[in-house]
Amino acid sequence: MWNVLASLGDPGILDWYLMWVRRPLLGPIAGSTPLMEVLEDILDLDFRVSETDDFIRLVSGERIVFGSIPLAHRYGGHQFGMWAGQLGDGRAHLIGIYMNRQGEKWELQLKGSGKTPYSRSGDGRAVLRSSVREFLCSEAMHSLGIPTSRAASLVVSDDEVWRDQFYNGNVVKERGAIVLRVAKSWFRIGSLEILAHYGELDLLRTLLDFIIQEHFPSVKATEPNRYVEFFSMVVSKTAQLIALWMSVGFAHGVCNTDNFSLLSITIDYGPFGFMEAYNPDFVPNTSDDERRYKIGNQANIGMFNLNKLLQALNPLLDPRQKKLAAQILEGYPVLYYTRFRDLFKAKLGLLGERKGDDDLIAFLLHLMEKTEADFTMTFRQLSEITQSQLEELNIPQQFWALKMISEHQLFPAWVSQYLLRLKSNMNDSDSERRKRMATVNPRYVLKNWMAESAVRKAERNDFSEVRLLQHVLQHPFQKHSAAEKAGYASPTPSWAEDLRVSCSS
């Protein structure tokens, strides 16, 4: 069933930054939820295995696969712009690497599985509310076409976990949970920063060569400029990733360097949020008092984090390579904006290049901001409304997000420009436009109120909405009757207007 899982490389080489640990057993298992796609397509398991006691014990951390030695990873990071020193996996254990029948290597990690050498004053646990959110969102992001870690299972424990969710002195008892999450790698910018900061340059070089060999096959291991080529690829992929986040209104919430993957995938889901009313100042994290990680600043934070990566690489570069790497970093804004523009042109169904496309996009976003229109549903409803309906400027009630924008006095001017631009699409029709736009504009994303509703039920041992969201978010572009009944494509319910999410988990 499970092949032997191997640990990362040679412990004799890597034990300077990896700490081998075992974790204590959890309390009784209260419930578990697996994801069929990850189990069957990535881990080569028949889904029925998830119903066995052996599987539940494995994904809860109660049983270790023979030959596997759990480990926790040491890294550092810049948190909210300041160097935070040594951090590391404080509540996650890597239980091994699995190679599937396609020859892909996947690192399996339990999050919330107990104390590690890097737990500091923490208990190493994760609570149900944060675990449900990560379990659902990582898979939702994958279905949206955004590079991300994946979630294989969610196990709920009867352990008591105490948390001060909003850091206001109100400590409450919550239920513990563990997510089995998988990724090609969990290395992040902070993995290199910690070694450079403490002058562990031989290990820094060894680790970089390992990462390049394992995850950047197009970079030759013997190439003298391999670290510059590696940096160039990370810069490009990071620009693309953040542009993709923006295209679906996703705000990570804590874009610290210890949460930024070297493979440019979305990792470490904490106080994330999908923007509802369009607002460049949207901040999903209540703990972010300075609004550093607002959605409109994510691209700039990407630049900041890449600069910290370059600083970590600099001790291994000669003067010419340093200059070249600095020039690569200077090209980041163009890479980001080019990808951003292409994604938003696709969201509007625009083909080819036309002067004024940028203005058309900016004009719509301006109207959305002024009317506080829902980001996801505005673009989705533009995918569903016909050109003739737009021409009449009489927006049907079913298109409630567009209806809000239509109340702005400049809406007719935007519609006129938009329809004129659509006429320039070569060999296109209105039905083809709508069909094309419906493949890039989701009808469903994991808004905070949806996750909160599922969490509240899960806390009462009712996982029906977790499972409903699992199914719906696997097909975010398709209309789903149960999702419509649940209001997932409707305005945010009044009870959820003041929901808050923090770094606490």
163 three-state secondary structure = strand
Q: Residue 417: which residues within 8 A CB-CB, separation 6 or more?
A: 356, 360, 363
Largest CA distance in the chain: 72
Compute the distance between CA of residue 381 and CA of residue 3 in angstroms, rounded to an integer.
Answer: 47
Compute the distance between CA of residue 302 and CA of residue 332 in angstroms, rounded to an integer.
Answer: 9
457 three-state secondary structure = helix
Residue of 10, 15, 209, 258 marked catalytic: 258
Q: Residue 304: which residues within 8 A CB-CB, separation 6 or more?
A: 78, 81
List the one residue out of 376, 351, 362, 345 whose CA is nearest residue 445. Answer: 376
Task: For residue 219, give Cα distances in angstroms to 191, 225, 399, 482.
Answer: 20, 9, 49, 47
CA dihedral 52, 58, 60, 64 (to 10 degrees): 150
CB 26 within 8 A of CB 176: yes
List the one residue out of 70, 83, 97 whose CA is nearest residue 9. Answer: 97
Compute the distance between CA of residue 428 and CA of residue 312 in angstroms, rounded to an integer.
Answer: 49
Two structure tokens written together for 364:
């719509």
List the one residue out of 438, 445, 429 whose CA is nearest residue 381. Answer: 438
Compute the distance between CA of residue 131 and CA of residue 145 in angstroms, rounded to an integer.
Answer: 22
Four-residue CA torsion sign, 81, 264, 122, 500: positive
Is 258 an active-site residue?
A: yes
Catalytic residues: 258
